[in-house]
Structure 1
Amino acid sequence: MSPKSWIAAAVGALTFASFPVLGGAAHAAAPQFKPVACVGDYKGVDLKVRCGNLIVDETRGDPKSRRIKVAVAIVSASAPKAGLPPVVYLHGGPGGSALKALPRMLKSKASREYVAIDQDWIFIDQRGGGLSDPNLDCPGTNLTDAGPPSDKDAQGIVACLKAFQAKGVNLSRYNAVEVAQDVQDLRKVLNLPLIDLFGGSYGTRIEAAIQTHAPRGVRAVVQDSPWPPEADWTVGGPAMVSSSIDIVMAKCAVVAECAQRYPDLKAKLAVVAERFLAGPQTVGGKTYTADDLGGYLMDASYFTAGVLPRDLWKIIQGDLSPVQDFVESRDYYSEGQFMTHLCKEEIPFEARADVAKGTESDPVARLMVVSMQRLHDVCAGIDVGAISKVEQQPVKTAIPTLFLAAEIDPGCPPELTRAASKGYQGSQVVIVTNATHGVSRSSPCVRKMIRSFFEDPTKPVDRGCLPAADEAMKFTYN
């Protein structure tokens, strides 16, 4: 069946179906797909986009379960190639969204180099976030990968999740295993014999769950900035951030202009970190905490390594505008969805007291200890059901998988990728020099690899366009 015909068949078959009211007691147990109007500004998008909701039981196997919606957008290939299945896109976070940013993505020149060219791409907002219903967002609270930036935020997230629970939300059903089953349900209702998977950041953790728990019909997998199940989020997390910043500062030190403009960055940043650890700092009438600075450093080393030396120098000189910009923009997750995942898949396998281990002589790493410990406090305050050790086990699979990792990544460092890939039979591992988190976004070479891999996942990808391992990093000074 051609890409266009399978979409038409799925939509046509379901147009006249009867759909239950969410929360109602009476409903069909089978998953369903209901076409809906797309949300967002798609003017200027020259690809065909259809939207809909995958309607499934919140709690599979429970005849009394309420129904929930998983938002879906199907983007038709501009030049479909026979024999290639659609690609299911899995966003990161957890607690992120694919559909909210989709119009902008489809207008991006970079994305158009590999998205929806010869394969349809299917984007989903994973249950509990984005345009899906319910959305476990907690307005008024802040949360980043480094954790809640204050005790108030942590307490607010706990209260928010308990309020969702009081309204009947089953918090034990918003995690990677359930999302994996949602992907399989979507495959079934759209009548797709095969699918490919593309995941970024925590989306790769969802891919791992699919490959472990629900691999049926999966032909090939691309992991961009992989986060494997066996990795520890908080234990060793502060050191991973500090290490990424060290890499950037070391690269600055061997570039003449960068080294001249920003001498002795490491020692000077350590002095600033110690000052923040001693107590909140007030600059320009605004007060900033160690949590604020630590969260900024993690966020900045994820995406903006090229300007990091410049901005670190600003901070060293007393200009905290980079930190202020971060503080004003850190409400980007559905906090409840983020925490139901972490409390099920990550935090139960780590000890709160161990978060501080190894940070004693590293003031930059210590900036993140308290906020990461708050993740443990949030998990202690909510019930996400039974925990399974399977969720911390390395993946073993024969599904062809392409790993794309950045040299500089405080959350998903390349050493995790190298170790995890050993369980993936015949996998290919690409580490991109000078790149940061989300390598497909910044590297045309990687985008070519993605297309060629999906075209034939049995062939080695062409690495000839990658930067050399010793290539100097480019920095922005203005």
Structure 2
Amino acid sequence: MIRTLWARIAGALLLAGAAGPGLAAEPEFKPGACVGDYAGVPYKVDCGTMVVDEARGDPKSRRITFPVAIVRALEPKGLPPVVYFHGGPGGDAVEGVPTRLKRPAAKEFIAVDQDWIFFDHRGTGLASPSMNCPGTALTDAGPPSEKDADGIIACLKAFKAQGVDLTRYNAVEVAHDVQDMRKALKLDKIDLYGGSYGTRVQAAVQTHAPQGVRAVVQDSPWPPEAAWTVGGPEMVASSLYVVMAKCEAIAECASRYPDLKARLQATAAKFMAAPQSIGGKTYSADDLGGYLMDASYFAARVLPQQLSKIIAGDMSPVDEFMASRDYYAEGQFMTHLCKEEIPFEKRSGIMAGAKGDPVAELMVAPMERIHDICAAVDWGEISPIEQQPVKTTIPTLFLAAEIDPGCPPELTEAAARGYAGSQVVIVTNATHGVGGASPCTRKMIRNYFVDPSQPVDRSCLPAKDTPMAFVY
């Protein structure tokens, strides 16, 4: 669902006066129609909207909303419902629920014997306000141009000028929204499942609002103590080099794509020196770097083939990526990072760590722009606890991919030390988002929620030395 920035701001203003004078309004769940095409969905789904204070506990606060879709269990067994946390920040979940449920794999672990609750985090998706910034592009590496960065700054300032409190759209606030939702739906216990940046929000729940949480699954975890930009370019380059090493270890892949690492570094150096005109189009270092980060997230099996094309001057893989760089609500992405990530990092450290590796250097400029955006807006008081490792006794299963430029497995292994009794599973040859990617991990998730006290069955996982199956 695409709406203009001004329509979203207008929707937020309509909610501004909903709280009664002198009294902080109670959170409320309002049943309503589901969004999307549910024809053929084999589940009963109840939908509605949560209405909460933007500034929780402030009697003068505007009221804001976020959508909820409750997928009822096919064969309920009295287990707590699973609350699903989408990635991003700036991603969404509710509008895509019917598509997700129509996939055959869904029946293996989603709402089999316990309800699953999907919601859009405040400030994104179908929430109101939803802080999308039309006309701008943004990837995990950051804004791909100065124009995009300036557009996002103007967008954030426009929201702020209309009364939106930008300091209230972050993991801590979403964590409390989860508790408001739990109470409004009259749930005694809940389980949590999240992927990517959704795990960062889960961590906030476990730190700030853990009431009623029975068990947690974190898929491709991003822990609070991790640094988004400082070290980020090296994480991307390292992930790419893992894929190339796996290619080099297979005779056919190595013969098709020889010296891939050296050739990619030479190509990256050319882009770092100056924009490249290829096939009548001009490509920047930001364009190539953004593609490399995105591709190593999800396209490792075709990466050697695609990189070989790019090195030879066929930029079609980059063209395809550039056409789809509007997958986040840019404003909400920044309200999270500028409040809970970037204040703990130094802009100068980005190039300091990447310097000398042209592949890593491709990601430096867009990550520096993230800092520039954060510096342009006042984010209020910054709490050091948002950069501290989580300490919890809530049973937690970590699922990490061996190949992940944004959430590498070493971050998971370090973070898990603060989770008493946690279990860590690292899946060989897998990429970002391993939870629903195979029958093995889907079964693992379902069985873990049935009884989180038991060790998960790892016998179905590929061995550590399993060769990667590349697509040629």
TM over 0.5: yes
Equivalences for residues 281-360 of structure 1 within 5 A: 281-360=276-355
* Distance apart, 1:361 and its partner CA: 1.8
Confirm or deny: 8 A CA contact 1:302 1:410 kept in the other structure: yes
SS of residue in 1 equivalent to 2:301: helix
Confirm or deny: 8 A CA contact 1:236 1:357 kept in the other structure: no
Match of 1:452 in 2: 447
Structure 1 Cα separation of the partners of residues 56 and 72 of structure 2: 30
Q: Which amino acid aligns with 2:287?
A: D
Equivalences for residues 117-196 of structure 1 within 5 A: 117-196=112-191
* Distance apart, 1:357 and its partner CA: 1.6
Match of 1:264 in 2: 259
**1:343-400, CA deviations, whole angstroms, 9 ceiling, x for partnerless residues?**
0110000000000123222100000001000000000011222100000000000000
Q: Which amino acid aligns with 1:158?
A: I
Match of 1:75 in 2: 71
Confirm or deny: 8 A CA contact 2:230 2:353 kept in the other structure: no
**1:235-292, CA deviations, whole angstroms, 9 ceiling, x for partnerless residues?**
0000000000000000001111111110110000011000100111111111110000
Confirm or deny: 8 A CA contact 1:25 1:64 kept in the other structure: no
Q: Which segment is superposed worse, 94-103 or 140-149?
A: 94-103
Alignment size in residue pairs: 457
Confirm or deny: 8 A CA contact 1:201 1:438 kept in the other structure: yes
Confirm or deny: 8 A CA contact 1:78 1:116 kept in the other structure: yes
Match of 1:14 in 2: none
Confirm or deny: 8 A CA contact 2:397 2:423 kept in the other structure: yes
Match of 2:101 in 1: 106
1:51 aligns with 2:47: yes
* Distance apart, 1:25 and its partner CA: 5.2
- The equivalent position to 1:255 in structure 2, one of 250, 258, 268, is 250
* Distance apart, 1:21 and its partner CA: 6.0
Q: Which segment is superposed worse, 28-37 or 267-276?
A: 28-37
Structure 2 Cα separation of the partners of residues 112 and 325 of structure 1: 32
Structure 2 Cα separation of the partners of residues 70 and 359 of structure 1: 39
Q: Any unmatched runs of 5+ in structure 2?
A: 1-12
1:87 aligns with 2:82: yes
1:425 aligns with 2:420: yes
Confirm or deny: 8 A CA contact 1:55 1:67 kept in the other structure: yes
* Distance apart, 1:329 and its partner CA: 0.5
1:61 aligns with 2:61: no
Match of 1:23 in 2: 16
Q: Any unmatched runs of 5+ in structure 1?
A: 1-19
SS of residue in 2 equivalent to 1:439: coil
Q: Which segment is superposed worse, 180-189 or 382-391?
A: 382-391
Q: Which amino acid aligns with 1:24?
A: G
Structure 2 Cα separation of the partners of residues 25 and 253 of structure 1: 62
SS of residue in 2 equivalent to 1:100: helix
- The equivalent position to 2:361 in structure 1, one of 357, 360, 366, is 366
Identity %: 70
Structure 1 Cα separation of the partners of residues 297 and 464 of structure 2: 20
SS of residue in 2 equivalent to 1:302: helix
**1:11-64, CA deviations, whole angstroms, 9 ceiling, x for partnerless residues?**
xxxxxxxxx961115436100001111111111111111111110000012111
Q: Which amino acid aligns with 2:43?
A: L
**1:175-199, CA deviations, whole angstroms, 9 ceiling, x for partnerless residues?**
0000000000000000000000001
Structure 1 Cα separation of the partners of residues 272 and 38 of structure 2: 46
Q: Which amino acid aligns with 1:193?
A: D
Q: Which amino acid aligns with 1:22?
A: L
Match of 2:4 in 1: none
Structure 2 Cα separation of the partners of residues 467 and 183 of structure 1: 35
SS of residue in 1 equivalent to 2:216: strand
Confirm or deny: 8 A CA contact 2:19 2:63 kept in the other structure: no
* Distance apart, 1:441 and its partner CA: 2.9
Structure 1 Cα separation of the partners of residues 222 and 353 of structure 2: 21
1:228 aligns with 2:223: yes
